[in-house]
Amino acid sequence: MITDRVSYEQLLGISGCLGLALLAHVTALPLWVLAIVVVCGVIRLLLARRGSGAPPRGILIALAALAMPLLFLRFHTFNGLAAGTALLSVTAGLKLLETKTQRDIYIITLIIYFVSLAALLEGDSFWLLGYLIGVCWLTTATLLRATSSGSAHGWQRSLRYGGRVLAQALPLTLVLWLLFPRLASPLWQIPSDSRTAASGLSDTMSPGDITQLALSDEVAFRVRFDTGVPPASDRYWRGPVLDTFDGHTWTRGTSGTGGAPPPQEPQGPAYHYTVMMEPHQHRWIFMLDWPSTWDQPRAELSNDYTLMQRDPLSRPIDVVGTSYTRVQYSEPLKPGTRRRDLRQPADRNPRTQQLAQEMRGAHPDDMDLVSAVLGMFHQQPFYYTLTPPKLADNSVDEFLFDTKRGFCGHYASAFAALMRAAGIPARVVTGYHGGMLNPYGDYWILRQSDAHAWTEIWIEGRGWVRVDPTAAIAPERVEKGLSNAAGADDSLASRWQRKTPWFAGARLRLDLLREMWRERILDFNQDSQRKLLEFLKIPEPDGQKLVLVMGTAMALVLVWLTWQVHRELAPPSKDVAGRTYARLCAKLAAAGVARKPHEGAEAYAIRVAHERPDLAKTVTALCRHYSALRYATPSRSITLGQFQASVRAFRPKRAMRTL
């Protein structure tokens, strides 16, 4: 008697596929949602193992009545990506608990496909795409096993057939991806939780803050230069400018507000480049010092020359810009700005203020004073380390006179404090320095370990001048733990690359793959479709022509799919044994012994043995095997597969002619 009821094996397979699909949401869904699905699946599998059916409907209604209000309290809606995914997940768990027939398996399968699509919209990793394709492949194979008539197909056959189904759907997928009309922005623009973005630099800096970033290998942004690449001494990527100092912590105060930036006069070459920013929780965009042009309409330059977007960078963006690494200011410093950039608490760091006054008396010229302070860092036993001692409220005093150990933030803070105490306006700039060249993609990678802090001082007649006091530290005074550093201004990423070149090369290739994925897939938008139509030589491409091209391509793909389905459903013109025997006859004909139309297999073998005694034994055996497989009852002497292998291995040579 044929039954439509599901078996334990079918439930186990579809439950495993559902679990794999939900695994992609493990960091996004509430834990109690996943717990409901797991409990429902375990209960249903235990009941099926004992031969029992689904639990009473009252239990299902009670669970649904409990889950729906919890979902609404958590998300305040049932719409949207996050709330919809949670609702689908709970529905899948409840449906699994009540599964009785094949129709229930079909519904759960559809939910798995939708949950997988939701995970793809939430994430932007090509690894995630590969994982979800694998989940859909396994789900399709499980569905084929569950719906096969008679005994279930083996996993190998089901996976092979499921893979063929997915491969046949690929052309239609490509047509829809490339030609379905897009909005001006990419598809991956669904708002995400800002907590998922990397934080990176903030608008405050205390001793040790950047030290923690230096231990991170996460990518902050990538840069591709259109023209020449500036030297390492000029590759400073400008971020938050900190102008307020309380003796311990530097804070971004009013330097970023208050009108347009003061005019500058370029003093060197212009560098054209594209910054490919990774998301973070702040509004600034890291541009090469000093930016002059950019292509983001929602970004503007603050009066301290930091490029700021209106909203936090919750999604990756590309910014095409131009910068001059050497500039000069044409206007004097405003009195209010001068007062702000000289201000520091009178009751903090008294030894630093006394040192600044003494050095100022010995060096009345501003640049001479700068050289003297940098010489102090170079000549005295100051050390560059990732594990500096903790500092109290008078952090600059303790660093300059007691510990003499610190990271870039310690040196930038101490230098700026000395300059202010000596009467020179100063501020701390945070950002990134250097970078690692990816030779496989011809772009630079700036990681969190490249985070850096330096100082800007105001020199009359020149304007703001960048001074990096960390670069004054002698290379031999870089403490152990920084992995064979060549100098204090050398990034941790580049040191790590020199230490493990083979693994670093593999990572650079992988990073290139990620960047291609972002450029070709994630950022594919309306402008990309227009360029595609131009590549196809379509004159004056517009939306109407895009729809026509898409319709034509879909029609061609559907015709091809129809032919594929017809070929699979149509009965084969010959059986396998007959096709294999025809291949044997073709090989013998090429050797000079063609089969005559009236000859059967046995008669043909006799004639071949008479004309080609060297082939007699092999051909006679193969013809007898064919007759047995085609006309007699199944024999254990040889199988169809063995017969096919023997014919493939048979390679007769043409007989030599005799004179």
Active site residues: 408, 452, 468
Structure tokens at 649: 């291995």
Quick count: other Cβ atoms within 10 Å of Cβ 260? 9
The CA-atom distances, in angstroms, between 23 and each of 27, 29, 125 are 9, 10, 15
Q: How far apart are CA 287 and CA 306, in angstroms?
A: 8
Q: Helix, strand, or coil here: 271?
A: strand
Structure tokens at 612: 């080609």
**Radius of gyration over alpha carbons of the chain, in Å?**
36
Query: Which strand (E) or helix (H) includes residue 293?
Result: strand 291-294
The CA-atom distances, in angstroms, between 338 and each of 127, 359, 465, 557 are 52, 21, 15, 69
The candidate with the shortest Cα–Cα distance to 453, out of 397, 384, 368, is 384
Q: How far apart are CA 556 and CA 560, in angstroms?
A: 6
Contact 232, 435 (CB under 8 A): no
Q: Tell me the β-bridge partners of 322.
A: 272, 293
Contact 122, 81 (CB under 8 A): yes
Q: Where are the alpha helices (DSSP H) in 1-80?
A: 8-23, 31-49, 57-75
Q: Helix, strand, or coil here: 270?
A: strand
- Which residues are within 8 A (CB) of 75 and not within 5 positions of it... i.e. 6 or more apart? 82, 83, 86
The candidate with the shortest Cα–Cα distance to 113, out of 92, 144, 90, 83, is 92
Query: Which strand (E) or helix (H) includes residue 276?
Result: strand 270-277
Q: What is the dihedral of CA 78, 82, 87, 93, to 10 degrees?
A: -170
Q: How far apart are CA 537 and CA 540, in angstroms?
A: 9
290: cis peptide before it, omega within 30°?
yes
Contact 406, 388 (CB under 8 A): yes
Strand pairing class (463-467; 451-459): antiparallel
The CA-atom distances, in angstroms, between 651 and each of 4, 107, 117, 617, 618 are 51, 53, 51, 14, 11
Query: Which strand (E) or helix (H) includes residue 287?
Result: strand 287-288
